Structure 1
Amino acid sequence: MSVQAEEQVVAPGVRDGSVASGAPVQAGDADAAVGRALGDLNTNQLRNEYVDQGSFLYLSDFLPADATQRLIDAANALMPEVNRNFIPGHKAGGSVSRHTIDRLQPWIAELYRSPKLIAWLEKITGDKLQLSPQDDPHAYALYYYTRAGDHIGWHYDTSYYDGRRYTVLLGVIDDSSCILDYELHTRDENKPDEPGAVQYPPGALILFDGDKLRHRVTPSREGEVRVSLTLEYVTNPNMRPWRRFISNMKDAIAYFGFRQVFRKALQSATGGARKTGGSV
């Protein structure tokens, strides 16, 4: 279901010092952009920070300005494709799945598959990572808060895969008052829960183990716009049939709609691809 009333919402550009909207960013440069992002980072130090925080890392300035602008342009272009959902007491907002992204904004898929990004994430997490299967609509997806009250309540990004699933959040647009609240160490009996909060700007990165971080996004206000991009990586792409059904239902009801979820699921049923759900 498109959000025709929101087609005219155009978000602001990236923060001061960025290139203007429409600046040339050539196809095939996603991996190079990641390489520039990683150039000055101390990976060993960040790995230690990630471990100390119970599989959580926040970088306020990650993507270069031109790559960030590319994501902003894509998010604005995809406004007519947003599928909105409302679950009383839990969430309200819009989503654009990887299937629509593949069709209309494939540069995002290129960013998701960046060998430099995956290699760096493996160093931080200490795990061998794989791409999510082709029928997983959450593999990379955009999440839109464009109406007053859009939010998501406390949750984990529960993995329905046989292995672990890692979430990467990239800030795309944040002309909002929304806050990402989170709690560290909730699965560790030897450490007290540690609350935190962040309002991550365009180009920022957050990395966490979806089964370990309890988090939410506070409600948006009238006239605000917030868009984030999630990238999901797994350690084992297999999923048991009953978990696949639960995942499909969750995706259809809470995110992308029955038509897209089950059409894609049926198309890939013979390929053994698997899915998961949940993000901000």
Structure 2
Amino acid sequence: MNQAANPSTETLDRSAARAPAARVATPSAREIDATLNARLRELKTAQLHESFDKQGSFLYLEDFLPRDYTERLIDAVHAVTPAVNRNYLPGHKQGGSVSRHAIDKLAPFIADLYRSEALIKWLETISGDKLQLSPADDPHAYALYFYTRPGDHIGWHYDTSYYEGRRYTMLLGVIDDSSCRLDYELHTHNPEVPDEPGSVQYPPGALVFFDGDKLRHRITPLKANEMRVSLTFEYVTNPNMRPWQRFISNMKDSIAYFGFGQVFRRKAGKNGSV
């Protein structure tokens, strides 16, 4: 079940009180790469790659994104709020989503950050895979997820790849005035290694990076007077998808995330009639 609706006024007002004023200038691709390269040089990338492998393609960093960029993402949350699509799947999922198509119009900084060569090269080093951008018609390429009403959550799942190759998920914390946690289980597909449970409450600027087909995970339910917004980037190793898999992916996105209008109207209007 989907319905277009904005997050609660109260929770957004509380967040807006802490958010910086909206910025006029958006950094160029070169400026984004320079900023990220400066931050990435501070990290022990070789050790992080080893940790990623040891944990079965999973990495958590509590302090990743430069503070100024986290503030820009908070600005983006307020810019895209009118486009939030509420969704509800009994027993599995409740919350709000904004797809890359709305983000392209309302918060282009996110799209520029997603395409950063510096970021992609670093993620390739961490994963050991050659990564590509998700296709232009994939609404999940980059998306914002809103938890703004009591009970908003998502149950245990994998970020199943319908592409012919692997799909990697990168999560960034944006707003977290909540008790929600990312619970996860490592090594669930490796019979030689015992399952390893874990849980993090990733704050604004934190990073979670994993192979979507390997990490079983969930977001615990939101409580009253709380709010949480996170950003996801999806990168693939092969952008091809078979027609039947495309149909399944489109239906999942329509029902569980962005609504039929956002998914299918966008596809019908790729030649200019969006």
Query: 1:121 corresponds to which residue?
Result: 123
- Work out the CA distance in 1 between the residues paired with 2:64 and 2:39: 6
Closer/same/farther in 2, CA of residues 122 and 221 from structure 1, 3 Å limit:
same
Counterpart of 1:273? Answer: none
- SS across alignment from 2:13: coil
CA deviation after TM superposition for structure 1 residue 14, in Å: 11
Residue 162 (structure 2) aligned to one of 148, 160, 163: 160
Aligned-residue Cα RMSD (Å) equals: 2.0
Report what 2:94 is aligned to: 92
Q: Could you give the per-residue CA deviations for residues 160-197 of structure 1, whole angstroms, max 9, x where no partner exists?
A: 00000000000000000001000000010100000000
Give the structure 2 partner of residue 148 of structure 1.
150
The structural deviation recorded for 1:209 is 0.0
Aligned pairs (5 A) from 1:5-16: 6-7=8-9, 9-12=12-15
Matches within 5 A, 1:218-233: 218-233=220-235
Structure 1 partner of 2:65 = 63
Q: Distance in 2 between matches of 1:193 and 1:76?
A: 39
Do 1:10 and 1:76's aligned partners in 2 also have CA atoms closer than 8 Å?
no
Does the CA contact (< 8 Å) of 1:11 and 1:76 recur in 2?
no
Residue 197 of structure 1 is aligned with which of 196, 199, 210? 199
Tell me the CA shift for residue 10 of structure 1: 3.2
Matches within 5 A, 1:117-266: 117-266=119-268
CA shift for structure 1 position 30: 2.6
On the 8 A contact 2:182/2:217 being kept in 1, the answer is yes
1:27 aligns with 2:27: yes
* Percent sequence identity over aligned pairs: 65
Q: Deviations over 1:64-119 (max 9, x none)?
A: 11000000111122122100000000000000000000011101000000000000
Check whether the contact 1:56–1:213 (CA below 8 A) recurs between aligned residues: yes
Q: Unpaired segments of 5 or more residues in structure 2?
A: none
Unaligned regions of 5+ residues in structure 1, if any? 270-280
Matched residue, 1:275: none
Paired residues of 2:171 and 2:230 also in contact (CA < 8 A): yes
Q: Which range moved further: 121-130 or 5-14?
A: 5-14
Asked whether the 8 Å contact 1:149–1:220 carries over to 2, the reply is yes
What are the superposed Cα offsets for residues 35-81 of structure 1, whole Å, 9 maximum, x if unpaired? 23212001100000000000000000001110000001111221221
Runs of 4+ in 1 over 4 A off after TM superposition: 19-25
